[in-house]
Amino acid sequence: MKRAIAGARTEKKPLYVIEEELIGVSHAEVGAYLLSLWGLPYPVVEAVAHHHHPERVEPEHLDLVSIVYYSNLLAHEYEDQNGDQPLVHSEVDLKSMEKAGLADRLDAWRQRVSEVLNSGTPQPQGT
């Protein structure tokens, strides 16, 4: 894990990419495996397993995999205080969001997250 974290920082790549390069799987697959051993429902296991690669699952609508994936992107966007890590990491992300009907919501989500972070208190929102 120390090698993966150091590699992600040095190469400026997401941690899961470095994990996959080093050992062939990421924390997502390892976590999903553990969740399956513990008997969690398949949709939860699937969402965890594919939250970095939603293109592996063919969604018919906004499903749990997509929700976890987009939530993960939003969360990590604000980890980098310099703004070097964009919400949409690739064309795959954008195409996936368009397919789920969410691409047009990016600016609204960014603004909402920024408001919450700046206020320090989450406010209920109807959107």
The band of 127, judged by pLDDT with boundaries at 50, 70 and 90, is very low
For the stretch 51-109, pLDDT in tens is: 888 778 776 666 777 777 777 776 666 555 455 555 455 555 666 666 666 666 766 77
The pTM assigned to this predicted structure is 0.55
Checking if the pLDDT of 122 tops 60, the result is no
Q: What is the pLDDT of residues 2-54, one digit of tens each?
A: 999 899 889 888 889 999 999 999 999 999 999 999 999 988 998 899 888 87
Q: At what angle do helices 91-99 and 64-77 cross, to 10 degrees?
A: 130
- Residue 23: predicted pLDDT: 94
